[in-house]
């Protein structure tokens, strides 16, 4: 009983660590995209899927 409970707790902790790591990585990537957009004259904002919003709402893929 104790062994199964310990394994369950360990799996939950590992899953939480993975989720936090993924969130941090996505946040850093979005900040990099936003910086690229700003440096290339698309200062409006960057979407979470890697696009910059240009004049008139036109989407430009960041990094191209």
How many whole angstroms separate alpha carbon 2 and alpha carbon 61?
52
In degrees, rounded to 5, the angle at the alpha carbon of residue 22 between the alpha carbons of residues 5 and 17 is 25
Instruction: Return d(Cα 6, Cα 28) in angstroms, integer.
Output: 33
Q: What is the pLDDT of residue 15?
A: 97
Q: Which comes out higher in pLDDT, residue 40 or 63?
A: 40
Res 21: pLDDT: 98
Which tens digit of pLDDT belongs to each residue from 5-49? Answer: 999 999 999 999 999 999 999 999 889 988 998 898 887 778 888
Q: How many CB atoms lie within 10 A of CB 39?
A: 9
Q: Is the pLDDT of residue 64 over 70?
A: no
CA nearest neighbour of 50 among 41, 39, 64, 40: 64
- Which domain does 48 fall in, by range? 2-61
**Report field, pTM of the whole predicted structure over 0.85:** no
Query: Smallest Cα–Cα separation from 37: which of 19, 58, 23?
Result: 58
Q: How many domains does the chain have?
A: 1
């Amino acid at each position: 009983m104790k062994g199964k409970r310990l394994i369950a707790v360990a799996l939950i902790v590992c899953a939480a660590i993975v989720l936090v790591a993924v969130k941090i990585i996505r946040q850093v990537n979005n900040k990099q995209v936003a910086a690229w957009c700003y440096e290339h004259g698309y200062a409006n904002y960057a979407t979470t899927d890697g696009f910059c919003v240009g004049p008139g709402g036109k989407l430009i893929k960041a990094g191209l």
